[in-house]
Structure formats: structure tokens, C-alpha cells
Amino acid sequence: MSQPVKLAKAEMREMAPDFGSEKEYKIKVQFNPETLKVSFANQIAAPAGGGDQRGTPSMQFVGAGTTKLAVQLWFDVNAELPEGKVPVNDVRKLTQEVAYFITPAQSPRDRTKFVPPAVRFLWGSFQFDGIMESMEESLEYFSEDGRPLRASVSFGLSQQKIQKFVINDTGAQPGTNRPGGASTGTQPLTPAPSGSSVQKMADQSGLGGNWQGIAAANGIENPRLLDPGQLINLNISAPSVSIEAGIGTASASITAPSISFSLGPNG
């Protein structure tokens, strides 16, 4: 059977105020985000004095501009946790790790001021440095005794300048072999909606007859219950292996990943 796809997890790391070096605090996300939204804005204004009002006034660049990153993350106490994390019974024990980055702390430069930590968001070749300016937590699912078990966290990072693209070389090259014969950059991964299954996702893509092979190739143990946001490669399938055995009038046929038996008249 093919090995499951090993996905790099996004990370959030605390930075020094000048973004020159990393500090000790860092976390790995439980589920990678479905999308990252980066926006840029220059600060421009019409020049003072106006001049000839009959024409369109020229615009002038008057500021350094801003760069912003918008991210949404999911957390679920019943799903697999990042390596090194201990199980919890309240999802806010997981989301509080993200809330750390919006909580102001005493400035090392001026003890009378409090500022939120500088943060670096990393995911594969993507990197963004900024200050967390907003965070919204939605508690989605509760236990019988009222404990929140699932949550989504949306946050925005901001940098007071037009930030150049930082593309980290992860070492992966187009054409690198992946499970099922797929190649990096040639086979897209589909995020699983909340409450979805491999069979349902395969049906929606016209691959319903091969959902078992898709589940096996992706290394999914429970194809009927997927984690929200879990990435699935619908374009790969586990290879079939057939074994025929005959004993008297009985015969058995085994084809991975499904198993079927047929017996003769004396079976």
C-alpha cells in the first residue's frame, strides 16, 4: 500500500520587535488553512493647493503603505494533534496558543507601553512577518456538558510597509515522486468540508466507484469521517493486487483494498 502523503504544517513563530531574529515561542497548526489572502495598499493623496480644479488632480505617494495577511485555522479536540501536543478536553486550550500573538506584552524598549508580539507565519515556501491586528474565534461544536470541542480562528497580520515576497526554498522540485505516482505541483489536493467523507468527495468528482482506492492511497484509516480541512488527493489510487486460491470446490478472491469471497456449490 502507498504511504500517506506527509503534509508540511504551517507554523507561527514569535519574532524580535525588529523581526531580525526568532524567539522561543512557536506553534504548529492542527489543520493547514485552505487559503491565504495577501493584500497590499499604498497610501496616496491629492496634493494640497489643488491647482487647476478643472482637470483631474494628480495623486502623490505619501506613505510607506501596508501589507496584510488573512488566515483562517480550524481546531478540533477529537482530531489528531501536532506532534508533541497532549490531548485536551476543551478546544480553547488549543486556540489560546494563537491568541498569544494578539495579547499585548510590555515593550522591552519602553516599560510604560504594551505591544503585541511580532509574529512570523511560515508554510512551506510561504513567509509573512507582521503584527496581529485582529482575531476572531468561533466555537462550532459543544459536548453534552457544555465544553467547546471544535473552533475556527480567523486572524489578520499587518506590516506597515509593502513587504517583498519571501519565497523559502523547501528543496522540493516539480516532478518529485509522491504516493500513487503523483508529482509535486501536478496533482492538486482538495480540502475536506466539515462532515464529509471520502466516498462523498469522490462522488462529487465523478470518482465514486474508486473511493476505496483513493482512501487507501491517501493513507486514510477512517474514510467515512474526515477532519474539516483535511487535504485529499482525489487523483491517486492504491494499486490493486489480486490473489487467487483454489481448495476443492471453494475459491477465494482478494483485491486490495476491498475483500470479496465466492464459494462453489459444495461451499
pLDDT tens sequence across 115-164: 889 999 999 899 999 999 999 999 989 999 999 999 999 999 998 887 77
Using CA atoms, how far residue 252 sits from 47, 90, 204, 240, 249, in Å, is: 85, 48, 33, 16, 10
- Domain ranges in the chain? 11-46+62-167, 179-232
In sequence order, what are the beta bridge partners of 134? 156
The whole-number average pLDDT for the span 198-213 is 84
pLDDT tens sequence across 225-245: 787 778 888 887 765 544 344
Three-state DSSP class for 208?
Answer: helix
Euclidean distance between CA atoms 123 and 126, whole angstroms:
5
∠ CA 23-155-10, nearest 5°, is: 55
